Structure 1
């Protein structure tokens, strides 16, 4: 089978694996191609994705690094922002920054460059960190959803157990577990040689057998995507059931107590909605690449052609864009994040005089700072 790219030239090589299993993986190639057909022009054809994808990745890095750095700065600088939910949000921002810095630039070089040029150590560490950060992200989202469910279903009990110290311990445990469980990725990464418009070096996964490869792909799909998604859906089903219950009126009909309870419930609902949006974006952004890799590994009739290559490029761009959209969600849906952004950077945000009374603002900040 000969593959023809969008320049009309045959793509030849010694390996027929799909690209972008990880940074440095081989481009779409086919065996049995006449090498002399391309020896007249030893330079690979410049495809559209050679400059378009790196440009998109650069935009993702710029938005993601600035946005996530602002999130961490606001949470660490303002004491009232050091809540349980915000600790998990800071952990998400940290995973996004590590992913953007350690993985995205190396993956971007795969499109303009035909070979992996960073050596064996970076081949292993880049793929390893990509797995670690993806795993830490999904487990953090799961922990954040469980935390919101606990706070909504058991509001009184959660006041004693939901503390920033517990959230910090859970976050550290997530990182340790992600580093340990991702070790196979580093162990099975290696450099290989091939031919595509000249001798090339590729960073690929070499499992002991096809069985080991499929087992690890299935494990990644279940642990990094499906099981966390099921857990999150169950949590929010409990939350929706709890929120649908009628609110019990205070026994003394005290207006201020009732007003405080209503505002507390409103703030909890807003925070829960923000978490839902973050989880939905994670599902949409990471779903295509997870299902694509699973379909590729377990479908014996999978066609390795340039159309599939384009679909996989789109799926990777979707997954990488998730690291830059979360800060935008906080900015649009988190009122306290917006206020803290304005306090931290008054020269960027113009202060607007609102009609809301100071008592309402103080009540809201008190509720958030109490661990809501």
Structure 2
């Protein structure tokens, strides 16, 4: 997880030494990784089990939520290795293959999680604001095609991390790191710069703008519908709280890491050349990564456990109740889907009323 800045010499001399090596980091971070692993594995496994056993994959939202949970699970299995890596003072005992694989899965999860959250936000926007016009695009087939494209695109974006992550020995310590060479190797330096820029732009900024835009348009549509249908206030408030929780969780989990990642990018570009600042960044980065990875634990809560139907099916799963054929079960987003039709009806009434007033 740690980036090391090195000069290309035979002895691999470090410009600022092994910065960020503090005992409290080696103690606190592995504990947080362990908590993230347990909570994330249990939560996402419950989401997968409930969708598979009771809810089924009959809606676009359910497909995205399932893929999001699977994406989180594929990353969470690497957390014990990163916890061991940090607890042993950044010593990597698992070999180069697992070093590359674990680093690749970490960045792979960053992209897949954010892309699936973005796809889910766009789907919610289409379902609530344009339910009738978007019906032919919001099909199970198109949802699976979107998921395949997201997996492939995220895989391609994670390949450079796999190629640049290596195992090196520093002061009798075997570390899994990304080496930032001197300006002698221009091609490698440009590749590392491109990786950092893609992580900031495609891994956070662009998806965050799309998510915020979708939810702002959803809120505006719901508020316009509320003026016409006063009776739906309580259900509207519940949907608004869920949307606000999703955006807030995304923001709080990823912004600290992206801020320090941007400072690290300035160090990489040699805009900032201060060993004190580099030590602060290297010390804070593991904690910001902990917060970012906690998003894998929050996702099941925000997109699954807030639904009454999901909680009901979760209790059935824990009690080992059979899946009786008593009729179709509503999806995770049933409340939002029902609300989308009421919102569209209200909006259409508004348009009709304005048209009739214009005629008069």
Category of TM-score, reference length = shorter chain: 0.7 to 0.9
Partners of 1:95 and 1:127 lie apart in 2 by 15
Partners of 1:340 and 1:245 lie apart in 2 by 33
Q: Mark the runs of 5 or more structure 1 residues left unpaired by the alignment.
A: 1-12, 19-25, 30-45, 250-257, 349-361
- Contact 1:75–1:82, Cα closer than 8 Å, also in 2: no
Residue in structure 1 matching 2:34, options 39, 55, 58:
58
Scaled by the length of structure 1, what TM-score is found? 0.73
- CA deviation after TM superposition for structure 1 residue 271, in Å: 5.0
For 1:328-367, list aligned pairs within 5 A.
Answer: 328-330=301-303, 332-346=305-319
Residue in structure 2 matching 1:238, options 208, 211, 217:
217
Go from structure 1 to structure 2 and tell me whether the alpha carbon gap of 1:271 and 1:226 turns closer, same or farther (over 3 Å shift): same
Q: 1:140 and 2:116 equivalent?
A: yes
Aligned length: 310
Q: Which residue of 2 aligns with 1:277?
A: 245
- CA deviation after TM superposition for structure 1 residue 319, in Å: 1.1
Higher relative contact order (CA 8 A, sep 6+): 2
- CA deviation after TM superposition for structure 1 residue 317, in Å: 1.4
Go from structure 1 to structure 2 and tell me whether the alpha carbon gap of 1:166 and 1:248 turns closer, same or farther (over 3 Å shift): farther
Offset from partner CA, 1:178-228 (integer Å, 9 cap, x none) = 111221111112222211xxx122222246443432232112100000000
Q: Which residue of 2 aligns with 1:151?
A: 127
What SS does structure 2 have at the residue aligned with 1:74? helix
Name the Cα RMSD after superposition: 3.3
Residue in structure 2 matching 1:368, options 334, 347, 350:
334
Go from structure 1 to structure 2 and tell me whether the alpha carbon gap of 1:365 and 1:111 turns closer, same or farther (over 3 Å shift): closer
Q: Which residue of 1 aligns with 2:184?
A: none
Q: Which residue of 2 aligns with 1:99?
A: 75
Q: Which residue of 2 aligns with 1:109?
A: 84
- Contact 2:121–2:215, Cα closer than 8 Å, also in 1: yes
Partners of 1:366 and 1:327 lie apart in 2 by 11
Residue in structure 1 matching 2:208, options 229, 247, 254:
229
Q: Which residue of 1 aligns with 2:107?
A: 131
- Contact 1:28–1:304, Cα closer than 8 Å, also in 2: no
- CA deviation after TM superposition for structure 1 residue 72, in Å: 0.7
- CA deviation after TM superposition for structure 1 residue 369, in Å: 9.6
Go from structure 1 to structure 2 and tell me whether the alpha carbon gap of 1:269 and 1:154 turns closer, same or farther (over 3 Å shift): farther
Partners of 1:314 and 1:284 lie apart in 2 by 13
- Contact 1:65–1:97, Cα closer than 8 Å, also in 2: yes
Residue in structure 1 matching 2:160, options 175, 179, 184:
184
Partners of 1:174 and 1:285 lie apart in 2 by 21
Partners of 1:85 and 1:331 lie apart in 2 by 11
What SS does structure 1 have at the residue aligned with 2:136? helix
- Contact 2:127–2:134, Cα closer than 8 Å, also in 1: yes
For 1:1-372, list aligned pairs within 5 A.
Answer: 14-16=13-15, 28=20, 47-79=23-55, 82-102=58-78, 104-114=79-89, 115-195=91-171, 199-206=172-179, 208-246=187-225, 270=238, 273-298=241-266, 299-302=271-274, 303-304=276-277, 306-330=279-303, 332-346=305-319, 368=334
- Contact 1:267–1:364, Cα closer than 8 Å, also in 2: no
Q: Mark the runs of 5 or more structure 2 residues left unpaired by the alignment.
A: 1-11, 181-186, 322-327, 339-360
Partners of 1:108 and 1:312 lie apart in 2 by 14
- Whose helix fraction is larger, Structure 1's or Structure 2's? 2
- Contact 1:80–1:369, Cα closer than 8 Å, also in 2: no
